[in-house]
């Protein structure tokens, strides 16, 4: 799946991945890939700018740490980020329900 197909949903996916606890950037990418069964194999050039945007918005905090001699930035969901994720989930439920009425294969009324 290409990054542009996720337009409007990437932030929600990233917040959801971070809901499980702090992760460094590459682990976020791997979690997206694992949870999607390999469908979301997004490049760093898509994920890292989105993480920085979420940080500027106050939804994510980050800290630097050294792991095996390498500097890594670890991202963690904030209280505001949890609220934003709840809002994204509510919006997604409404959106998918509405679109499902058209594409779900049900008989037209």
pLDDT in tens, the chain (109 residues): 555 667 789 999 999 999 999 999 999 999 999 999 999 999 999 999 999 999 999 999 999 988 789 899 999 999 999 999 999 999 999 989 999 999 987 566 5
Q: At what angle do helices 25-35 and 10-18 cross, to 10 degrees?
A: 100
In a domain, 71, yes or no: yes
In a domain, 108, yes or no: no
Q: Which domain holds residue 32?
A: 3-103
In a domain, 109, yes or no: no
In a domain, 85, yes or no: yes
For residue 65, the tally of other CB atoms under 10 A from its CB is 11
Give me the number of domains the chain comprises: 1
Of 56, 59, 57, 72, nearest to 15 by C-alpha is: 59
Tell me if 90 sits within 8 A of 83, measured CB to CB. Answer: no
What's the predicted TM-score (pTM) here? 0.87
Distance, in Å, from the CA atom of 89 to the CA atom of 91, rounded to the nearest integer, reads 5
In CATH, what number is assigned to the domain containing residue 71? 1.10.10.10
């Amino acid at each position: 799946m290409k990054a542009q197909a996720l337009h409007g949903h990437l932030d929600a996916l990233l917040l959801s991945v971070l809901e499980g606890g702090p992760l460094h950037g590459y682990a976020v990418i791997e979690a997206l890939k694992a949870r999607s069964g390999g469908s979301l194999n997004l490049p760093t050039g898509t994920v890292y700018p989105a993480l920085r945007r979420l940080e500027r918005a106050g939804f994510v905090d980050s800290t630097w740490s050294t792991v095996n001699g390498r500097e890594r930035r670890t991202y963690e969901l904030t209280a505001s980020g949890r609220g934003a994720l709840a809002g994204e989930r509510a919006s997604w439920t409404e959106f998918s329900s509405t679109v499902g009425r058209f594409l779900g294969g049900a008989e037209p009324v």
